[in-house]
Structure 1
Amino acid sequence: MELHEIRYFLALSEALNFTRAAEHCNVTQPALTRAIKSLEDKLGGTLIHRERGNTHLTELGRMMRPYFEEMFVRLDEARRQAESFVRLRQARLTVGLMCTIGPTRLIDLFAGFNGRYQGVELCLRDGAAGQLEELLAKGEIDVAIYCKPETQSEALHGIPLYSERFMIAVAPDHPLAELETIRLRDLEGQSYLSRINCEYRDVIRNTREAIGICVKQPYSSERDDWIQSMVMAGMGFTVIPEFAVTVPGLAIRPLVEPEFVRDVSLMTVRGRPHSPAVGAFVHECRRYPWREKMAAFPRSPAPVAAE
């Protein structure tokens, strides 16, 4: 069955007049008549009795009418939903967010996107970098924000967002807080609280061990908030990206000699067509003033004066 045939039938069942139904559908009467005949042939029965002054639906026509009406209601709903999706009046965007990325650098980005595209529901899905890559490849998330120390897969396309240094976080009264910067060698013999999900954890550990620096490791956790809280309680130090710090009051010092920096990117699947929501988010990330926003963040907190 063709949609125009059903539309002509519904117009005729309302008007019960071939001429007026044809005018309503903006077609000639013979064209409408042929469409009705074609529809009857496909259904195997007569839909309309055409009598002089008494055009009316047959029993089959009365039976079919509510089904056809429901079909067009659903079609209109589908068109409205599609239009809302395309025009971003009603859409959902799932963003994979690496669990070690703090909210500081992204809050304004998300707020700006929401302000411009209020019909898009932004769903954040947490995970490690490797997990996000798998979800992205499977289409279970639309885009991902993460970083890895190794080369990215050629199947993915990355848009650089911002860079951040790795810092040493300690309690304000910790001896290391008296230093303006902290070298790897300054960590000798200190208690290290390990952030298990840190994607640079092995890189930094291998570098430390290569130059013979030994630390104690009394605690490790997948939860950054727990590690930071234990650091604040004076239980040791941790290595953490500068914009991932969320516990107020921590003393944060740049890690130098060597310095470690991670580059956070927006990742999409190379060659996969962007949905309107993905396209809008990619555009928002490209136009976001990362450099200007970076200037609003102090890069090297002043050291706590020793008493």
Structure 2
Amino acid sequence: MDIRRIRYFVAFCETLNFSEAARQLGLSQPALSKAIRKLEDEIGGPLIRREGLKTHLTHLGRLMHEQLQKVDAITLQAELAAKRLVNGDMPQIQIAVMCTIGPSRFCAFLQQWRKKHPEVEIVLRNADRDKIGDMLLSGYVDCALVGAPLSNEPRFKYTELFKEDMVVAFSPEHRFSRLNTVDLEQIMQEPYLDRLNCEFRDTFMTESAQVGHEIQFAARSEREDWIQTLARGGLGVTILPIGSVIVEGLETRPIGAAALRRTVSLAAPFGREDTVHLRSLLSALRRFDWKSKA
């Protein structure tokens, strides 16, 4: 449907008077009548019943008025948002965040940066590692926070932000709560909650096979919150980065001799600093004291 005709019809419904609606819209009365007739043709039925000097909506007209009001309102919002963005009134930065990265260490940074740039809207896009490269190269996002290199793609520039330990997570009642550290072999003997997007998943599976352990999977999921909630509830144990713990009451312990760690990095295509605000954000991310926020 033509958006202008929808808008004309909605305006007419406010007065049910062609002359007044035409005046408010800055149209001639014949032009308004013609636009509404074309809308009726698009919809396939009469919207307005004309009876002498009186005009009112048909049953179809009342139904369509209710629906087209919503379309008109959403369209106006979209037009306003587009104008603000084009005019620089609402600058926006899109950041892909690898789904295994927790929010806790980034809160202080975002609070600090937003105080200096309150006009900028930050949009955080949750993404799997396999999809982030395409999101960056297509321009869908401006930069990304990743827990592992995306690929051998030479067009990406990586800046290390911080390292964090991998830990084993379990319920407060689990036997691991009595230990100071837990070895990989001990973890392999427990029902395991499989984080399907875990960067160390393949390493863990390989080491288990090498020592002859067949892992008993209690559940698998791409959802970090589900896996952690199941672990807290006692369904099994899981390995995850310490900074990714988001479920209250979940117990964790360091993993013994393995000393598994991951590096969280900022990834952006070379040359991807085409706005003042994006340059400021990337520079601030690279200069921020991440160690003090551990």
CA RMSD of aligned residues (A): 2.2
What is residue 180 of structure 1 aligned with on the other side? 180
Distance across 2 between alignment mates of 1:109 and 1:129: 23
Q: Which amino acid aligns with 1:135?
A: M
Distance 1:141 1:105 in 2: 21
Tell me the residue number matched to 1:140. 140
Distance 1:152 1:146, change over 3 A: farther
CA distances 1:228-261 after superposition (whole Å, capped 9, x unpaired): 1111111110111000001111110011321211
What pairs with 1:192-211 in structure 2 (closer than 5 Å)? Answer: 192-211=192-211
Distance 1:90 1:100, change over 3 A: same
TM-score by length of 2: 0.68
Distance in 2 (alpha carbons) for counterparts of 1:208 and 1:154: 33
TM-score (norm 1): 0.65
Aligned partners of 1:177 and 1:205: how far apart in 2? Answer: 24
The equivalent residue for 1:278 is 278
1:118 has 2:118 as partner: yes
Which residue is 1:48 aligned to?
none
Alignment deviations for residues 62-96 of structure 1 (CA, whole Å, 9 cap, x no partner): xxxxxxxxxxxxxxxxxx977x74xxx63100000
Map of 2:91 onto structure 1? 91
2:126 alignment partner AA: D
Instruction: Tell me if the contact between 1:157 and 1:270 (Cα under 8 Å) persists in the aligned partners.
Output: yes
- Residue in 2 aligned with 1:248? 248
Aligned twin of 2:225: 225
Shift of 1:227: 0.8
Do the aligned residues in 2 keep the contact of 1:184 with 1:213 (CA within 8 Å)?
no
**4+ residue stretches of structure 1 with deviation over 4 A?**
149-152
SS in 2 for 1:163: strand
User: 1:126 corresponds to which letter in structure 2?
Assistant: N
Structure 1 residues 218 and 232: CA distance shift in structure 2, 3 A: same
Asked whether the 8 Å contact 2:132–2:150 carries over to 1, the reply is no
Unaligned runs of 5+ in 1: 1-79, 295-307
Which residue is 1:268 aligned to? 268
The code of the aligned residue for 2:277 comes to A
Q: Which residue of 2 aligns with 1:40?
A: none
State the one-letter code of the partner of 1:196.
L
Shift of 1:215: 2.5
Instruction: Spell out, residue by residue over 1:103-146, the C-alpha distance to the aligned partner (whole angstroms, 9 max, x if none).
Output: 11111111112111111110011101121111001111001001
Question: For 1:1-307, what aligned pairs fall within 5 Å after superposition?
Answer: 85=88, 90-148=90-148, 152-294=152-294
Aligned residues: 213
Question: Whole-Å Cα distance in 1 between the matches of residues 149 and 156 of structure 2?
Answer: 15
Kindly indicate whether the alpha-carbon contact (under 8 Å) linking 1:149 and 1:199 is maintained by their aligned counterparts in 2: no
Change (3 A) 1:134 1:283: same
1:186 CA displacement: 1.2
Gaps of 5+ in 2: 1-83
Is residue 194–residue 238 contact of structure 1 (8 Å, CA) maintained in 2?
yes
CA 1:81–1:151 in structure 2 vs 1: closer, same or farther (change >3 Å)? closer
Which amino acid counterpart does residue 202 of structure 1 have in structure 2?
Answer: D
Instruction: Give the CA deviation at 1:280.
Output: 0.9
CA deviation after TM superposition for structure 1 residue 207, in Å: 2.1
Q: Tell me, yes or no, if the aligned pair for 2:136 and 2:144 is still in contact at 8 Å.
A: yes
Aligned 8 A contact 1:149 1:200 in 2 = no
Determine helix, strand or coil for the equivalent of 1:266.
strand
Deviation at 1:152, TM superposition (A): 4.8
How far apart are residue 99 of structure 1 and its match? 0.8
1:10 maps to which residue? none
Distance between the aligned counterparts of 2:229 and 2:111, measured in 1? 27
Query: Between Structure 1 and Structure 2, whose CA radius of gyration is higher?
Result: 1
> C-alpha separation between the residues in 2 aligned to 1:172 and 1:81?
49
- Does the residue aligned with 2:104 lie in a helix, a strand or coil? coil
